[in-house]
Amino acid sequence: MTEFELIRQLAEGLDDRRDDTLVGIGDDAAIVRPGEGDLVTAVDSMVEGVHFFPDCDPADLGWKALAVNLSDLAAMGAQPRWALLALTLPQVDQQWLRRFVTGWRELAQTVGLQLIGGDTCRGPRAVSVTVIGSVLSGRLLRSGARIGDDLYVSGYIGDAAAGLALLQQRLAQQAREAERCHLISRLHRPQPRTATGLFLADHASAAIDVSDGLLADLGHLLRASGAAATIDLDALPVSDPLKTVVPDDATRERLILNGGDDYELLFCAAPNQRAVIASHAEISSVPLTRIGRVHAGEPGLVRAEGRSQPLLAQGWDHFGEC
């Protein structure tokens, strides 16, 4: 298979067209029509051996490479529209590419996103995705939290970290197959909270997606906002599979507070938004759980209700790990 054939396979496999795409894959560059509102863009790379295992299912990789980017758009309250894909592959492998396209398309179709271009080169396997979306009104930033705001998280956190720990055999393996699979799929197929983000654009004061770990990302949001927060550890949402697979309270708490890769949204909102947030959670069936509050204090500091020591973030830091 040549590079030309590879690009054709991508273009044909991912040919969902948007009306506002004037020129997609095939020319020297793409042309899109921005329309109303402001454009929002993000890029995220995934490198074999760092972000995914060499034996990972290419369909999961296609899904996740897009999902982590859509999650960034969700945290900005943006509607996804286009993507560009830079692929570095050791060889051109039709089977691999077909699976990759399948996983990508499954997710892209749910949000109406079109692949409009990219680049392909030979080398150690890596996938870099650029997404472009738009916001119609307002800006949902990390820096918007106000003293007195409530603090929320979407979905369940700690599941993906438990999935990784299961794969790396760092957790006791007595769990039932269904629960193991659930946690591992939360790692491989994170669900970007696009619809939640669009709702939050009008109702939240600040948001960030949880990629590095709840405490680490909360720290980023609070430092950007110049505030501190207290969280109620008993209020943290815990999925049933996580409860079953990790019965030990201390281990589970560590996974929830410091595990990363969940791609849920952590956000702040004024207390007068409680009712509308609760009803949105009900309608959308994405839990939105109030886990604490924002207050004055050393920017970035996180306390836990009833504990004297501040909580310490031990999230994922690429360069910190070296």
Binding site for ligand ADP (CB under 6 A): 7, 10, 25-28, 85, 87, 115, 117-120
Question: Which of 182, 183, 168, 155 lies closest to 263 in space, CA to CA?
Answer: 155
* In the complex, least distance from residue 8 CB atom to Mg ion, rounded to whole angstroms: 14
Closer residue to ligand ADP (CB): 114 or 225: 114
* In the complex, least distance from residue 277 CB atom to ligand ADP, rounded to whole angstroms: 38
Q: Which one of 119, 282, 298, 305 is in contact with Mg ion (CB under 5 A)?
A: 119
Candidate ranges 29-37, 119-127, 277-285, 302-310; the one touching Mg ion (CB under 5 A): 119-127
| Residue 315 touches which member of Mg ion, ligand ADP, none, C-beta under 5-8 Å by kind | none
Structural contact between residues 90 and 134, judged by C-beta atoms closer than 8 angstroms: no
3 state SS for 147-192: CCCEEEEECCCCHHHHHHHHHCCCCCCCCCHHHHHHHHHHHHCCCC
Q: Which residue is nearest to Mg ion (CB)?
A: 119
What is the residue-wise DSSP string for 11-46?
A: HHHT----TTEEE-BTBSS-EE---SSEEEEEEEEE
Q: What is the bridge-based pairing of β-strands 114-122 and 31-32?
A: unpaired
Q: Which two tokens stand for residue 188?
A: 């491989």
Question: Which of 135, 187, 131, 155 lies closest to 267 in space, CA to CA?
Answer: 155
* In the complex, least distance from residue 119 CB atom to Mg ion, rounded to whole angstroms: 4
Closer residue to ligand ADP (CB): 25 or 201: 25
Question: Which of 11, 133, 157 lies closest to 70 in space, CA to CA?
Answer: 133
* In the complex, least distance from residue 31 CB atom to Mg ion, rounded to whole angstroms: 16
Candidate ranges 41-49, 84-92, 118-126, 277-285; the one touching Mg ion (CB under 5 A): 118-126
Closer residue to Mg ion (CB): 6 or 56: 6
Closer residue to Mg ion (CB): 122 or 307: 122
Closer residue to Mg ion (CB): 25 or 229: 25
* In the complex, least distance from residue 51 CB atom to Mg ion, rounded to whole angstroms: 23
Is the sign of the CA dihedral 234, 240, 242, 245 positive or negative?
positive
Size of the residue set binding Mg ion (CB under 5 A): 1
SS3 296: coil
- Using CA atoms, how far residue 298 sits from 208, 267, 313, 315, in Å, is 19, 19, 15, 19
Closer residue to Mg ion (CB): 32 or 85: 85
| Residue 87 touches which member of ligand ADP, Mg ion, none, C-beta under 5-8 Å by kind | ligand ADP
Q: Looking up tokens 């040549």, which residue turns up?
A: 2
Residue ranges in contact with Mg ion by CB under 5 A: 119
